[in-house]
Amino acid sequence: QKEVEQNSGPLSVPEGAIASLNCTYSDRGSQSFFWYRQYSGKSPELIMFIYSNGDKEDGRFTAQLNKASQYVSLLIRDSQPSDSATYLCAVIKGATDSWGKLQFGAGTQVVVTP
């Protein structure tokens, strides 16, 4: 079992709709969770991080964390063609490790169709 699991997609989303991405993790001690966006051929860039149960909103993005069920999700509201990318879920293994030592999922490809 991989430590961080994501559906590879592609997830096809009509423009203006909500894209919902899910990620599960195996280490119950993980405390901090990250969503990175990676355009094709480019490097990952951080969108959001979350470490408390519940929702965290930033613009059109909402991260949701449920530690009891060991999943973290990302919602993209009012999806735009520019949101077409691969979204990487990442967690810090254990409770106190560095933000630089991330365990990444393989990513979910999102395609926003006009």
Partner 1 sequence: NAGVTQTPKFQVLKTGQSMTLQCAQDMNHNSMYWYRQDPGMGLRLIYYSASEGTTDKGEVPNGYNVSRLNKREFSLRLESAAPSQTSVYFCATSRGFTDNSPLHFGNGTRLTVT
Query: Which residues would be at the binding site for partner 1 (CB under 8 A)?
Result: 4, 8, 32, 34, 42-46, 49, 88, 90, 98-107
- Please state, in angstroms and rounded to a whole number, the distance separating the CA atoms of residues 77 and 24: 21
- Min dist CB 35 to partner 1, Å, is 11
- Neighbouring residues of 16: CB distance < 8 A, sequence distance ≥ 6: 78, 79
Which CB, 21 or 79, lies closer to partner 1?
21
Distance of CA 2 to the CA centre of its chain: 16
- Please state, in angstroms and rounded to a whole number, the distance separating the CA atoms of residues 28 and 61: 25
Which CB, 17 or 22, lies closer to partner 1?
22
Which CB, 39 or 57, lies closer to partner 1?
39
- Min dist CB 46 to partner 1, Å, is 5
